[in-house]
Chain A
Amino acid sequence: MLLRLTTTHTPATDLSFILHKHPDRVQTFPLPFGSAHIFYPEASAERCTIALLLDVDPVALVRGNRGSEGMLSQYVNDRPYVASSLLCVAMGDVFSSAMAGICKKRPELVDLVLPLTVELPVVAVRAKAGLSLIQRLFEPLGYQVSAEPIANDNPANSYLALKLTANLTVKQLLTHIYVLIPVLDNAKHYWIGNDEVSKLLRKGDGWLAQHPECELITTRYLRYQKSLTSAALEHLLQAVAPETTTQTELDQEQVSEPTERQSLHTQRHNVIVQRLKASGAQRILDLGCGEGKLLRELLKESQFSAVVGMDLSTRALAILQQRIERLPERQRQRLSLLHGSLLYRDARLKGFDAAAIVEVLEHLELGHLAAFERTVFGFARPKLVLVTTPNREYNQLFPSLPADQLRHRHHRFEWTRAEFAVWAERVAASYNYRVSIEPLGPEDPNHGAPSQLGVFEDAT
């Protein structure tokens, strides 16, 4: 990983005084994750360039991160080659005096505004926003941005060669880079702790609070750790007058599902709860309960004397278990959780009045549907079964969803209204249930509702 910093100030070699690095020496600094080399490719009175070359130790990077997930646990990893938080650590180490604004020999240079260009040959811009994100981050600080994409098969994970030009003090430029590189890269090599907040506040002093993307920068710098982010934002917002705070757009990467507004989700649960209440059911199964949004709604109704949530994901159940601990004792006693799969016959699911199977069907492989049907309708046989699944026809009304694409990458299929009806009627006939199908959510005259509900009643 390389960083080049160039000035055309006269004399350009003043840069070496500001940075405390002799232009004719090649120096190496040890770092916890490798080493940093400093040298000057150019050092004339007209033009001076300092280069910081980072040799990241790929073995230490992986071995020091045992148990972590994602790229850092892999040897095949872009971290040694891109501008990342590792570079910032190196800068903090190698240019510590310059970043602190200390220059003993020529103190007048510290506040000198110079024409500066910084080049970062590989920057990982993971957000789809790409170039526009870079512009949003750097242009408000007075930079001129130029970026060249690096040949790569995958646009979603693109790299850019970045060149930023501005008239600033060296200290300003270094602190901007220090804060904004991890924001761009959006992956930090170390754990985010409380001292990161003070570090951010220190480095952002004088510019971050006024930055229009302050919230985005804070959120990303602190890796979406909500509690830390709000602590930092609180400090930053105090630094500016209240009326100047702006509502930042949601970071685009966070919007993973283009599909539904919260209201639809809630609406779906309301319909299910009302249906279950009206049926007089007391013992309820929530099959595929996930992290338990529906369960919490069910527990609010005292009619439901026993509520059982089952899910395949042990991770979801663990999260749910923690949340349950916070429920009042009386509510908690009515709830039990099961780890299980809808593809295996399960005696624990017998003897219930009703089962809700909300947005679960589409997560099953088509080849597994037969097992699912037998398990639920043949074996468990609740008196009432409520099944919801997306209506594929409605997808056209989601502007951001490309044609022929499913709503969620984990969906194995999505059915049209007709396809769902065929399935529901066949299942009802095979297992002796009566079925009716209803739209779920606001109905479009041509494409129907976003979701569809099958109401199956035991006909024996």
Chain B
Amino acid sequence: MELGIPELSLVVLVGASGSGKSTFAQRYFKPTEIISSDACRAMLTDDETDQSVSADAFDLVYTIAAKRLALGRLTVIDATNVQAEARKPLLALARHYHVWPVAIVLHTPERVCLERNLGRPNRDFGDFVVKRQIDNLRRSLRTLHDEGFRVVHSVTPEQVDSVEIVRQRAWSNRKVEHGPFDIIGDVHGCYPELERLLLELGYSINLTPGHNYGFTVTPPAGRRAVFVGDLVDRGPDSVGVLRLVMSMVETGAALCVPGNHDDKLARALAGRKVKQTHGLAETMQALAETDEAFRQAVRHFIEGMVSHLIFDDGKLVVAHAGMKQELQGRMSKRVREFALYGETTGETDEFGLPVRYPWAKEYRGEGLVVYGHTPIPQPEWLNNTVDIDTGCAFGGALTALRYPEREFVRVPAFAQYAIPKRPLEMNATQLSAQQAHDQVLDLSDFQGKLQISTSLISQINLREEQTSAALEVISRFAIEPQWLIYLPPTMSPSETSQLGSFLEHPAEALEYYRRAGVNEVVCEAKHMGSRAIVIICRDSEVARERFGVTGEQIGVCYTRTGRRFFSDPELETAFLQRLQQAISKLNWWESFDSGWFALDCELLPWSAKAHDLIQNQYAPVGAAATASMSAAQAALRQTVTRLPESVELQALIAHTQLRQQAVQGYVEAYQHYCWPVRSLDDLRLAPFHLLACEQRPLYDRDHEWHMQTLAALAEAEPRLLVATPYRLVDLHDQASVEQTIAWWQKLTAAGGEGIVIKPKQWVVQNSRGIVQPAIKCRGAEYLRIIYGPEYDLPENLERLRQRGLSGKRSLALREFALGLEALDRFVNREPLRRVHECVFGVLALESEPIDPRL
């Protein structure tokens, strides 16, 4: 005996105590799908028969059921449910979550129930209870349908053993169909434009009079059309459109969801009283000239359509007026209404039309929702939804969206067939719908615990105190989120060296990569300045179009925490213009086919940004240390004339001398990175990553490409740009490794900060996970400004060598993953909140207490 139930439904078992509900449920459903009132009683009082807590136990039943239904899980209620009163809250739940309520009634005779209860402990509540339950059940049988149960199954004891539960796919569920699709906007009777559009999409249309509504349409190989509804009214030939689409649906060349006009037409054809406005009268008139059989076919065609369709593992949703996430795949009157009309606020506008509630602004779903219903001049992306009704009947165009290509194909209307009651909304701000929406982000997307999925690391978890810290940092200091499309990851130093007086040495870093299975690394000189991300656009037009920033901005330069680098807007503009000119000189706008670039750079000198730090910390410590050490040395030298034989004094002098040299080295080290900045000419920008452009993120090119490409850029603007010296190292070639170490020594002896070692490819994964994207190896002198002037005195070094890198390295990987994800999302034109989430994540992770010297 087959019992069909929708795959997502609320199954209510109905039967007296002892009727075998629990046994039935356990036999035919997963244990986790069953919510039993007895089990809930037991959870509360350790006694599943304790009737005194029934109210609380049912609260628990409803709460669990609500959570499961919200998550889209089939749920079975195992309770007697013999009274309408008891079923009412369950029906309300089903309605609330837009799932079908299903009743399965167990007709077990009173005698059997009583026998079973006798055999169970603590069921001695008297025969009259079971008798009353069975009476109630009998009375219920007639009313279950009227109460709202969409499916009612009855099972007798004889049938129990032969039951087979058949879970039926929701009508909307076409997730196994992956396309490709051509989704076509509101046609509204515009037959000539539809024909043209189908031809442009590569469909061939053959006339087959008298057969299949007169058409046979063959789609291009593998493709299928999906109509978003509103096939009829307003346009010149609604009947022609119906014939064409019905023929396509008939042969499987197309699928169709109903629009509100189609729905109204079906009701009119069914003889219901509807106002024949907005073109319906004309459609009815045209249909009157066809035969009754066709009219009935139209009616059944429309009535048979499913409110919305879900394709491609849930990645694509098609509905006439859209479908919000919590209704997708659900079944109820409300779902159908939403699909037909969308949501309204209950108000009417100055044209007497209902004010639409902008559900798409709040949409956060994974599935791309393609819809029509609201005519607009251009198709508009917003939060992974797109409206493709471009008002063909009003003289606009008929638009198709090719999926998964996400390309639009557009046929302008041949004529204006109707006049809209409300003019098509023109975009006043010149920003796209998405950009206008993204002018302000919603805090709820970033507050509390966050989980971010990236392509490199599937889930990055952020704790509440981390996101709170990020909110503070971003709100206080960061530039407008529109510009903030990337933040660089932190970088780990090499493993601590045990060689000589080195704390860091390239040998360890090179060895790390060799062991990780990397063959080639790129070693880049590390500029000692401040990290700077530069976004540069061809002109302010591109800045507006692509980044949604208004005004005359052509780009931005910001720090690793998202802070604007320049406080003087004129200096920033002049700086950006130099970069812009260099890019123009190389024709990059054309050769990369991009109006913008994002660069990862070091901006020199260090003192330009670290001015306060130098003034308040580095310089004073240098002054105090120098004065202090020379006073000590003077006192000691004075003493040695008195006590020339003292061994202790000699040792003290020698030690003080070492300290004095260290202090001297420290002062030279920090001064090396400082020079006065009077104008733009004193600034140097050393770009080392060309992060992304319009066509794609560029981290798929190896680091050698980045070095070479950016060296060419530097050559085009030598006043501002500096090329980064680098070496390509074969880790299996000992000579190459040794030369690199010698190179590092030479660089750092000349005052260089050190080098950064990267695998040639940006992303390297081995069996243990992602390999560090870069490791820095700082010079011995430079480290004085990190670990203090005297860090390399043997007694200090020995202790400083005890440092752990695992926290830093784990952080570096997570931040790296977030950075690349941010670029991906931006290039893919995802909503700003999705990009912002990633940079927010980097700042949240940066609030981790990790030794800042690493």
For A78, give its contact among B443, B615, B621, B655 (CB under 8 Å): B621
| A324→B631 CA distance, assembly (Å) | 54
Within 8 A of B (CB), among A62-92: 62-63, 71, 74-78, 80-82
Contact, CB under 8 Å: B625 / A80: yes
| A344→B795 CA distance, assembly (Å) | 51
| A123→B85 CA distance, assembly (Å) | 85
Q: B476 contacts which chain A residues (CB < 8 A)?
A: 312, 363
Q: How far is the CB of A29 from chain B (nearest CB, A)?
A: 12
Q: Which A residue's beta carbon lies closest to that of B788?
A: A75
Q: How far is the CB of A273 from chain B (nearest CB, A)?
A: 27
Q: Does B43 contact A (CB under 8 A)?
A: no
For A157, give its contact among B439, B480, B620, B790 (CB under 8 Å): B620
Q: Does B786 contact A (CB under 8 A)?
A: yes
Q: Does A117 contact B (CB under 8 A)?
A: no
Q: Does B619 contact A (CB under 8 A)?
A: yes
Known contacts A2-B632, A26-B648, A53-B635; A77/B475 CB under 8 A:
no
Q: B477 contacts which chain A residues (CB < 8 A)?
A: 365
Q: A343 contacts which chain B residues (CB < 8 A)?
A: 440, 474-475
Q: Does A227 contact B (CB under 8 A)?
A: no
Q: Which A residue's beta carbon lies closest to that of B797?
A: A59
Q: Does A368 contact B (CB under 8 A)?
A: yes
B604-627 vs A: 1/0 string, CB under 8 Å?
A: 000000000001111111011101
Q: Does A285 contact B (CB under 8 A)?
A: no
Q: How far is the CB of B788 from chain A (nearest CB, A)?
A: 3
| A70→B824 CA distance, assembly (Å) | 39
Q: A74 contacts which chain B residues (CB < 8 A)?
A: 617, 788
Q: B853 contacts which chain A residues (CB < 8 A)?
A: 75
Contact, CB under 8 Å: A152 / B479: no
Within 8 A of A (CB), among B487-512: none
Q: Does A431 contact B (CB under 8 A)?
A: no
Q: Does A438 contact B (CB under 8 A)?
A: no
Q: Does A164 contact B (CB under 8 A)?
A: no
| A346→B446 CA distance, assembly (Å) | 11
Within 8 A of B (CB), among A334-375: 339-347, 363, 365, 367-368, 370-371, 374-375
| A51→B643 CA distance, assembly (Å) | 14
Q: How far is the CB of A319 from chain B (nearest CB, A)?
A: 15
Contact, CB under 8 Å: A122 / B480: no
Q: Does B471 contact A (CB under 8 A)?
A: yes
For B439, give its contact among A53, A159, A346, A374 (CB under 8 Å): A374
Q: How far is the CB of B162 from chain A (nearest CB, A)?
A: 53
| A151→B474 CA distance, assembly (Å) | 38
Q: Does B850 contact A (CB under 8 A)?
A: no
Contact, CB under 8 Å: A159 / B627: yes
Contact, CB under 8 Å: A75 / B791: yes
For A40, give its contact among B631, B642, B787 (CB under 8 Å): B642
Known contacts A312-B475, A341-B443, A374-B440; A41/B620 CB under 8 A:
no
Q: Please give the number of chain A residues whose Cβ is less than 8 angstroms from any Cβ of chain B in the complex.
A: 65
Q: Which A residue's beta carbon lies closest to that of B483?
A: A367
A244-269 vs B: 1/0 string, CB under 8 Å?
A: 00000000000000000000000000
Q: Does A313 contact B (CB under 8 A)?
A: yes
Q: Does A101 contact B (CB under 8 A)?
A: no
Contact, CB under 8 Å: A345 / B440: yes
Q: A42 contacts which chain B residues (CB < 8 A)?
A: 638, 642
Q: How far is the CB of A107 from chain B (nearest CB, A)?
A: 28
Q: Please give the number of chain B residues whose Cβ is less than 8 angstroms from any Cβ of chain A in the complex.
A: 59
For B480, give its contact among A26, A43, A161, A371 (CB under 8 Å): A371
| A62→B799 CA distance, assembly (Å) | 12
Within 8 A of A (CB), among B467-484: 468-469, 471-472, 474-477, 479-480
Q: How far is the CB of B472 from chain A (nearest CB, A)?
A: 5
Q: Does B636 contact A (CB under 8 A)?
A: yes
Q: How far is the CB of A128 from chain B (nearest CB, A)?
A: 14
Q: Does B646 contact A (CB under 8 A)?
A: yes
Q: Does B639 contact A (CB under 8 A)?
A: yes
Q: Does A28 contact B (CB under 8 A)?
A: yes
For B621, give its contact among A76, A156, A339 (CB under 8 Å): A76
For A76, give its contact among B475, B642, B788 (CB under 8 Å): B788
Contact, CB under 8 Å: B624 / A154: no
Q: Does A33 contact B (CB under 8 A)?
A: no
Contact, CB under 8 Å: B788 / A58: yes
Q: Does A187 contact B (CB under 8 A)?
A: no
Q: B638 contacts which chain A residues (CB < 8 A)?
A: 41-42
For A339, give its contact among B468, B480, B615, B632 (CB under 8 Å): B468
| A75→B476 CA distance, assembly (Å) | 28
| A170→B655 CA distance, assembly (Å) | 30
| A341→B481 CA distance, assembly (Å) | 14
Q: How far is the CB of A90 from chain B (nearest CB, A)?
A: 14
Q: Does B800 contact A (CB under 8 A)?
A: yes
Q: B623 contacts which chain A residues (CB < 8 A)?
A: 150-152, 159
Q: How far is the CB of A122 from chain B (nearest CB, A)?
A: 5
Contact, CB under 8 Å: B625 / A28: no
Contact, CB under 8 Å: A344 / B446: yes
Contact, CB under 8 Å: B444 / A26: no
Q: Which A residue's beta carbon lies closest to that of B441?
A: A344
Contact, CB under 8 Å: B621 / A77: yes
Q: B446 contacts which chain A residues (CB < 8 A)?
A: 344
Q: B635 contacts which chain A residues (CB < 8 A)?
A: 2, 4, 39, 41, 51, 53
| A402→B468 CA distance, assembly (Å) | 36
Q: Which A residue's beta carbon lies closest to that of B448?
A: A339
| A363→B796 CA distance, assembly (Å) | 43
Known contacts A153-B615, A312-B472; A81/B621 CB under 8 A:
yes
Contact, CB under 8 Å: B471 / A161: no
Q: Does A37 contact B (CB under 8 A)?
A: yes
Q: Which A residue's beta carbon lies closest to that of B480?
A: A367
Contact, CB under 8 Å: A121 / B475: no
Q: How far is the CB of B673 from chain A (nearest CB, A)?
A: 13
| A27→B479 CA distance, assembly (Å) | 59
Contact, CB under 8 Å: A82 / B624: yes
Contact, CB under 8 Å: A154 / B615: yes
Q: Does B785 contact A (CB under 8 A)?
A: yes
Q: B439 contacts which chain A residues (CB < 8 A)?
A: 370-371, 374
Known contacts A82-B624, A312-B471; A121/B615 CB under 8 A:
no
Q: Does B60 contact A (CB under 8 A)?
A: no
| A312→B624 CA distance, assembly (Å) | 38
| A367→B440 CA distance, assembly (Å) | 12
Q: How far is the CB of A416 from chain B (nearest CB, A)?
A: 19
Known contacts A59-B796, A59-B799, A82-B624; A368/B471 CB under 8 A:
no
Q: How far is the CB of B647 from chain A (nearest CB, A)?
A: 9
| A15→B484 CA distance, assembly (Å) | 68
| A141→B617 CA distance, assembly (Å) | 33
Within 8 A of B (CB), among A26-50: 26-28, 37, 39-43
Q: Which B residue's beta carbon lies closest to that of A341?
A: B475
Q: Which A residue's beta carbon lies closest to that of B651?
A: A26
B431-475 vs A: 1/0 string, CB under 8 Å?
A: 000000001111110110000000000000000010011011011
Q: How far is the CB of B778 from chain A (nearest CB, A)?
A: 14
Q: Which A residue's beta carbon lies closest to that of B617?
A: A76
Most buried by A among B468, B475, B800: B475
Q: Does B84 contact A (CB under 8 A)?
A: no
Q: Does A224 contact B (CB under 8 A)?
A: no
Q: How far is the CB of B656 from chain A (nearest CB, A)?
A: 8
| A308→B788 CA distance, assembly (Å) | 47
- Can you identify 20 A-B contacts, CB atoms within 8 angstroms? A1-B628, A2-B628, A4-B635, A25-B646, A26-B652, A39-B635, A41-B635, A41-B639, A58-B790, A59-B791, A62-B788, A76-B788, A78-B625, A152-B623, A314-B472, A341-B471, A344-B475, A347-B442, A363-B476, A370-B439
Closest 8 CB pairs of A and B: A75-B788, A121-B631, A344-B443, A41-B638, A81-B628, A341-B475, A26-B648, A81-B624
Known: A41-B635, A121-B631, A365-B479. 15 other contacts (CB 8 A): A40-B642, A51-B639, A55-B655, A76-B618, A76-B785, A122-B624, A122-B628, A152-B620, A154-B615, A157-B620, A340-B447, A341-B474, A347-B442, A374-B439, A374-B440
